Amino acid sequence: MTQPPAAGPTPPPGPGWSGADEIHDGLPPAPAEPQAGGRRVRRGLLVAGATAGVLVLGGTGYAVASYVSGGGAQPEEVLPADTLAVVKLDLDPAAGQKMAVSSLLDRFPSLTSGEDDADLRERLVAPLLADNEWGLTYDRDVEPWLGNRMAVAAVPDPGSEAGVAPVVVLAVTDEDAMTERLGAVTDRGFAFAVRDDFVLLGQTQELVDRLAASGSTLDEDADHAEDVDALDGDQVAVAWADLAALQDLLPMAQTGVGLGDQQLSGRVVLGVHAEDDALEVEGLARGTAPAPTTAGSEPTQLVGDLPADTVAALSVSGLGEALTTSWATLQEGGIPPEFQEQIDALGLDLPDDLGTVLGTDLAVAVTGDLAVPSFGARVLTDDPQRATEVLDGLVGDLGLPVAVLPLDDGYVLASDQPLADALTADGGLGDTEAFRAAVVDADDAGAVGFVDLGTLIDQVVAEGGDDATQAQEFSALRALGFSASTTDDGGRFVLRITTR
């Protein structure tokens, strides 16, 4: 990395230079057919960068790739090596990603016409600058210099009470224009410094100057590099965090909210990847191998045999054992008396009955249409007789319109007879084209989810009305799927949205 220039009479802009130095201003029947302030504003640009990262991971950031060059410097080349977490958005990704995103956008013409043709940078930043006390506008003050890459990061800040501080990194295409506009507001709780082709934005000048002058950078960190390289293919956006380092700094992590005595460890990395007919988010846990009793640590075997016309499904292995094990933690905190009274009234022996009912493998299915859906579950358990006894009692006491059918290796719970029959047979969901395209590595996954978006959208469109008009805009969607599996190093999560 280029080091800060030596001091001189008129040092040129470069690493470590800041604009503030120069400018200071009984089974029921099947369902019947349905009937027809100052601090807030000062952080505006910081929030803009953070929003860019969050939106891309939520889906908005896929409306990119109107550029053709690719390559070039990345935010990690100017962030310090001890960065704790970073979310990066690349509006100028590799050529293959540009082509894939372009192909996806062609399937949604109503979303890429008229005002929606606006640059994604404008769509993210302009609303956040509306009516700001600085008088800044996107067209005049930001667009002339804003580049195609941006990131928001958490970095160590020993001088602050929290010990950690946010920083936004934005690519700069015109340093003079950037300096002129941002320099005019540095006396209002806002600071910036330049490093190479990026500007670092922070809450204090001391912070951004130190970051701009740091000797080693995040791209030189071996853990970060290996984690990002472990993602499959090129990425439009990447999020990365060193959980172990955060554990040492953040008070919330130290208290272990909701974690008992567990401690954060390892690292996580998340990438957004585009294909010609799908959007994929892949997450990896690195150096955080799960305990043997973790739910989903063994492959689930039931989801592929759900009915082929299932519109939504969720399947998880090992849930009974995992929740039985975690019951001890709940008991240590004390069970509320009213909850214990309900348990006693139902005649439950917890946590054993809970583990028996949830079993070693569980799959839940929803079939039918949105107006009158059918619900059901297929469960494998070591004690089917006890599981059905417990569920029969719960169903009777609660008056639920469902019934339980015992099987040799478990049981079926369903809201109507046709679905109950379907759940006892090989329904073939795993062999459908929509499922195979949306769910990655289903045979090895300990947890699987699936939603047949195409079928649901078609149902809404067929009903007509305003909802149908809106749904029609997304008629190219096919399915959503996710899978979670364990690896020798930790775990892997993949979510995919496919098109038709």
Any idea where the domains of the chain sit in the sequence? 37-284, 290-499
Backbone angles phi, psi at 90, to 5 degrees: -115, 105
Res 42 pLDDT > 80: no
Q: Do the Cβ atoms of 119 and 136 come closer than 8 Å?
A: no
d(CA 180, CA 262): 49
More confidently predicted of 291 and 14: 291
Distances (CA, A) of 75 to 167, 196, 238: 11, 10, 11
> CA-to-CA distance for 160 and 174, rounded, in angstroms?
32
Q: What is the mean pLDDT of residues 315-327?
A: 88
Asked which of 120-129, 145-154, 408-417, 436-445 is least confident by mean pLDDT, the reply is: 120-129
Residues 233-292 pLDDT 10s? 999 999 999 998 888 776 544 444 444 455 678 899 999 999 999 999 999 999 875 555
**Which residues, 6 or more positions from 265, have their beta carbon under 8 angstroms from its beta carbon?**
243, 244, 247, 287, 288
Q: Are 457 and 471 in contact (CB under 8 A)?
A: yes
Calculate ∠ Cα 200-203-208, nearest 5°: 35
Here the tokens at position 172 are 């700069």
Residue-level pLDDT at 59: 41
Q: Does residue 89 carry a pLDDT above 80? A: yes
Task: Specify the higher pLDDT residue, 164 or 489.
Answer: 164
105 within 8 A of 113, measured Cβ to Cβ: no
CA 103, CA 49: separation in Å to the nearest integer? Answer: 27
**Average pLDDT, stretch 59-69?**
38
More confident call, 459 vs 335:
459
Q: How many residues does the chain have?
A: 500
The mean pLDDT value of the chain amounts to 81
Q: What is the DSSP letter of 134?
A: T
- Res. 212: pLDDT tops 60: yes
Parallel/antiparallel/unpaired status of strands 146-156 and 267-275:
unpaired
The model's confidence at residue 337, banded by pLDDT at 50, 70 and 90, is confident
- Tell me the whole-structure pTM to 2 decimals: 0.78
Cα–Cα distance between 38 and 308 in angstroms, integer?
56
Least confident of 31-40, 149-158, 165-174: 31-40
* 371 φ/ψ sector (left φ>0, alpha ψ -120 to 50, else beta): alpha
- Contact 147/177 with Cβ under 8 angstroms? no
pLDDT: is 160 or 257 the higher one?
Answer: 160
pLDDT tens readout for residues 349-404: 888 898 999 999 999 999 998 889 999 999 999 999 999 999 988 887 667 788 89
DSSP string, 312-379: EEEEEESHHHHHHHHHHHHHHH---HHHHHHHHHHT--TTHHHHHHH-SEEEEEEEE-SSSEEEEEEE
In angstroms, the CA 98 to CA 319 distance is: 41
